[in-house]
Amino acid sequence: MSAADDVARSAERIAATGCRPRIAVLLGSGWRPFAERVSAATRLPYAQLPAFPELGVEGHAAELVLGRIGGHEVAVLAGRKHTYESGDASVMRGAIATLAACGAQVLVQTNAAGSLDGAIRPGALMLISDHLNIAQRSPLIGEPGNARFVDLRDAYDPVLRLQARALAERGGGALSEGVYAWILGPQFETPAEIRMLQQWGAQAVGMSTVPETILARRHRLRVLALSMITNMGCGLQDEPLSHAQTLAVAQAAQARAVPLLEAIVAGLEV
């Protein structure tokens, strides 16, 4: 079977549930409980969707949850595969292409990230306004034709960001906003790298999101992305960094983050 066949078969499997998602939500580390907020949910393991990847990172499930958030039909991807697992930046290509084939208009992304800004502390939430592709890898390498030359101006949709900030304020909260730097990982950054990223204008750093944004824009999906800040960058705090620490801080932040994400998704005008 070709990749296109896998996408078609996956889209057919989703269509058979009767769900017609207009919004897709991709859950990163710490955001998993959001999947429990989906009403009238149908759960499809990634293993039943040939275009979807196998996952191998603690804190990431491997299922697509279809149903409703507010008035929107949604597809929630409970987990992603990271480029650092294989070196392949296109590992989410089939999943994103499937969602586009199913009629999704918007991709809402979430991740866990380290802060480079003393004003954005662990536990805070940050809207991504732009990104730095520090890894300089693309999920579109090897794709033929002119569609691979994707314009990434306003990659993180300005109108959706305005809506998200308004919805957060309506709920009594506030969102920081800044530039997200994608590093390949899986190792954390050095203090010198953190200083470099600060000088380059980044407010947060992480190991995901950028490949999926490129893929989403390739398929003309509008993108909104939220980082859950789980630590200060290396050299900006005394505590050693670890994935266990990331998950622990993320779990503590879930009580605020997950209801806010639900309110944003429910309130988006798409």
Examine the residue annotation and report whether 85 is marked as an active-site residue of this protein. yes
In sequence order, what are the residues at sequence separation of 6 or more whose Cβ sits closer than 8 angstroms to the Cβ of residue 100? Answer: 216, 219, 220, 221
Q: 33: Cβ–Cβ under 8 A, 6 or more apart, which residues?
A: 254, 258
Q: Could you count the other beta carbons within 10 Å of the beta carbon of residue 201?
A: 12
Those residues with Cβ within 8 angstroms of residue 86's Cβ, 6 or more apart along the chain or in another chain: none
H/E stretch holding 261 reads helix 243-267
Give yes or no: 82 in active site: yes
Half-sphere exposure of 245 (CA within 13 A, CB side): 14
Determine whether 207 is an active site residue. Answer: yes
Question: Active-site residue 60, yes or no?
Answer: yes
Instruction: Look up 84 and say whether it is catalytic.
Output: yes
Going by their DSSP bridges, the two strands 125-133 and 222-232 should be labelled as antiparallel
Active-site pick, 10, 24, 29, 176? 29
Of the residues 124, 164, 207, 228, only one is catalytic, namely 207
Catalytic position from the list 85, 129, 193, 219? 85
Q: Are 100 and 110 in contact (CB under 8 A)?
A: no
Nearest to 35 by CA among 80, 68, 82: 68
Of 95, 101, 112, 253, the active-site residue reads: 112
Annotated catalytic residue within 115, 138, 208, 227: 208
Considering the candidates 231, 250, 257, 263, report the single residue annotated as catalytic.
231
Instruction: Please pick, among 129, 135, 243, 266, the residue that the annotation labels catalytic.
Output: 243
Q: Which position among 8, 61, 84, 193 bears the catalytic label? A: 84
Q: Which helix (H) or strand (E) holds 91?
A: none
Q: Which of 62, 82, 97, 100 is catalytic?
A: 82
The answer to whether 86 is a known catalytic residue is no
- What residues are labeled active site? 29, 60, 82, 84-85, 112, 207-208, 231, 243
